Chains A and B, each alone.
Chain A
Amino acid sequence: MDAFLVQAPGSYTTVQDNGRFGYQKMGIPVSGVLDSFAGSVANLLVGNPEDSAVLEITVTGPRLAFLREIDVALAGADMGAALNNQPVNCWESFRVSPGDILKIPQVKSGCRAYLAVSGGIEVPKVLGSRSTYVGGKLGGYQGRPLKKGDILRCGEGTFLDVPRRLPSAWIPRHSSEIVLRAVPGPQDDFFHKEGLVTFFQSEFTIGTNANRMGYRLQGPSIQRKENMPASIISDPTISGSVQIPADGQPIILLVEQTMGGYTKIATVISTDIPKVAQAIPGNVIRFEEVTLETAYSLHMKQKKLMREIVRSIS
């Protein structure tokens, strides 16, 4: 079923679900929504399973002309969206009719918005997932970001009896000063005590090179032990790994990466990856050291929160 026509694509809009697992050993990164919280909530707001495919919209949004009656929801960064020139709220579902025009101008705060439609965005599954991996030209809509004139389809969905909204207490606030909790390792032993102190006590600014592969940061140089090299034998990476290349400037690796050849000082906990997804160049980042046990309990807390959200809005 045709869902909408892309009249303008926005700066970087892709189809993503929760990711493609099991193929990183074949050189295919996980991909998927960067802000998994916002992606899941957008789906729940239109009555979808949490892992249905959505649009991930980056900084500047698309203009969409709907071709059928469906429920739609936006979550994540507030981009000042308007349906037929009437403002629509982020974190709330709304019904659209054929011919309706949804304009999603530009982020007010945050970086990425997620658009879900009832039934989910329908693109063929490639290696088990609908996520776009642009570097490999696979998945999503023809393996690439959306273009003007694309027509996207949706799956079979049911109409909501009443519109849904996320209670405001649960809406994340996107700040320009971000604290990311991180567990030291896998190669924290390559760094001086002072290097670790610098890493966990300094402020870093996000540079212009920030995308789904990784975010490059600028700040004080992180010192390794004298006899330790910056390069190691390449090994597999995971989203959240903070790599310190030879120049000492951290890079937070994200979802379109499979291998890395530099030492990684710490790993951002899974609960805080959505905060990276909503950070933009110029924002300031601080890393806060947590233990693995704390990371586990924060993960469980986040799972519990999602269960509460499911109960509350469905």
Chain B
Amino acid sequence: MSNGLYETSKIRVVGDRGLLVEYGDKIDPVVNKKVISIAIGLEHDAPAGVIEIIPSYRSLLIVYDPSVTTTSALQESLNSLEKRLLEIEIPPPQTVGIPVCYGGEFGPDIQFVAENHGLTVDAVIRLHSEPEYQIFMIGFTPGFPYLGGLPKELHTPRQKTPRTQVLAGSVGIANEQTGIYPVTSPGGWQLIGRTPLKLFDLERPNPFLYQAGDRIRFKPITPEEYRRLAEKGIK
């Protein structure tokens, strides 16, 4: 199948505490949607002994307590869930607007990305802020969203040598992916801008702004707006 979705899911054993269920072999919105739907279905009506459900691009990992359940019991739950999948109400994804100041000190690699594709910096900004991106998965650091839907014209390889420190809020590109660094960490993505928004904040009742399956839209802002929003955020 062109979108990479398997006819039947592939079950992989991950020791005595994990079951990895694979739904396809591509980074693809249809495959990912299936993963997210199953994850939501499982969370909604979690089988006994399930500790965590972790969706990713094309698979989900079920972490379980082997003193309560086994892989075969979990497979049965998955099979019955698959049959009921159409009846399960999947909440519509929310779209989160992320203000981004592109270029300059905020996005030190934007020139590189532009030159790499024979584009102007303005064209990079326009292309990057146009689509609505699907959050395929969250990982690496707290709240780091791996986004699908980056226009082909912007696909750019990672930096040859990763930076030892990428500031929180930095928006980057790595090949066909784009994402945001929620906390300051090492990183090798090409940095094109930065958001003043705190993507992960333990001071908030909900420390996270989104989950896998949600959508993100970037809104270009000026350095002045960045500073104003950043100050507001601190208070």
Task: List residues of A whose CB falls within 8 A of some B CB.
Answer: 21-28, 126-127, 135-138, 182-187, 233-238, 240-241, 258-259, 264, 267-271, 292, 295-296, 298-300, 303
Q: A residues within 8 A CB of B208? A: 26
Chain B residues near A295 (CB, 8 Å)? Answer: 15-16, 66
Could you give 5 example pairs across A and B, Cβ below 8 Å?
Answer: A183-B16, A186-B20, A236-B61, A267-B18, A292-B71
> How many A-B pairs fall under 8 Å by CB?
132
Asked if A27 meets B143 with Cβ closer than 8 Å, knowing A238-B17, A268-B15, A299-B66, the reply is yes
Binds A, one of B52-60, B109-117, B219-227: B52-60
Residues in A whose Cβ lies below 8 Å from that of B27: 233
**Neighbouring B residues of A235 by C-beta, 8 Å:** 20, 56-59, 61
- Chain A residues with CB under 8 A of B56: 233-236, 259
Asked if A25 contacts B54 (CB within 8 A), the reply is yes
> In the complex, given contacts A25-B137, A182-B15, A258-B54, what are 17 additional A-B residue pairs having Cβ atoms less than 8 angstroms apart?
A21-B52, A22-B51, A23-B142, A25-B55, A25-B211, A27-B142, A183-B13, A185-B13, A235-B56, A238-B15, A238-B17, A241-B14, A259-B137, A259-B139, A264-B14, A292-B71, A300-B67
Assuming the contacts A25-B52, A233-B57, A235-B56, asked whether A186 and B12 have C-beta atoms less than 8 A apart, the reply is yes
Across the interface, which residues of B come within 8 angstroms of A269, CB to CB?
A: 15-16
Q: What 1/0 mask marks residues of chain B from 13 to 46 whose CB sits below 8 Å from any chain A CB?
A: 1111110100001110000000000010000000
Known contacts A126-B202, A127-B207: does B14 contact A27 (CB below 8 Å)? no
Chain B residues proximal to chain A, CB less than 8 Å: 12-18, 20, 25-27, 39, 51-61, 63, 66-67, 70-71, 137-144, 146, 182-183, 185, 202, 207-208, 211-212
Q: Which residues of B contact A135 (CB under 8 A)?
A: 141, 185
The answer to whether A299 touches B142, judged by C-beta atoms less than 8 angstroms apart, is: no
Assembled-state Cα–Cα distance A22/B207 (Å)? 14
With A25-B211, A26-B143 known as contacts, the answer to whether A233 contacts B16 (CB < 8 A) is no
A138 CA to B182 CA, complexed, in Å: 13
With A234-B139, A236-B56 already in contact, the answer to whether A292 and B16 are too (CB < 8 A) is yes
Task: State the Cβ distance, B103 to closest chain A Cβ, in Å.
Answer: 27
In angstroms, how far is the closest chain B Cβ from the Cβ of A21? Answer: 5
A126→B202 CA distance, assembly (Å)? 8
Chain B residues with CB below 8 A from A26, complex form: 138, 142-143, 208, 211
A258 pairs with B139, CB closer than 8 A:
yes
Which of chain A's residues has its CB closest to B67's CB?
Answer: A303
CA gap between A21 and B71 in the complex, in Å: 20
Q: Assuming the A-B contacts A137-B183, A185-B12, are A238 and B18 also in contact, with contact meaning beta carbons closer than 8 angstroms in the complex?
A: yes
Closest to B24 in A: A233
A156 to B26, CA, bound (A): 53
B52 engages A183 (CB within 8 Å): no
Q: How far is the CB of B12 from chain A (nearest CB, A)?
A: 4
Q: What are the residues of chain B within 8 A of A182 when measuring CB–CB?
A: 15
- In the complex, are the beta carbons of B183 and A270 less than 8 A apart? no
Check B58 against A236 for contact (C-beta < 8 Å): no
Known: A25-B52, A235-B57. A136 touches B183 (CB 8 A): yes
A270 touches which of B20, B66, B138, B211 (Cβ 8 Å): B66
Q: How far is the CB of A239 from chain B (nearest CB, A)?
A: 9
CB distance from A246 to the nearest CB of B (A): 15
Distance to closest chain B CB from A23 (angstroms): 8
Is A136 a contact of B52 with CB atoms below 8 Å? no
Chain B residue with minimal CB distance to A186?
A: B12
Instruction: Point out the residue from B15, B137, B141 that lies within 8 Å of A136, measured CB to CB.
Output: B141
Tell me the complex Cα distance, A268–B12, Å.
15
Q: Using known A-B contacts A127-B207, A234-B56, A236-B54, determine if residue A27 contacts B12 with beta carbons closer than 8 Å.
A: no
Query: What are the residues of chain A within 8 A of B12 when measuring CB–CB?
Result: 185-187
- Which of A182, A236, A270, A303 has its CB near the most chain B CB atoms (within 10 A)? A236
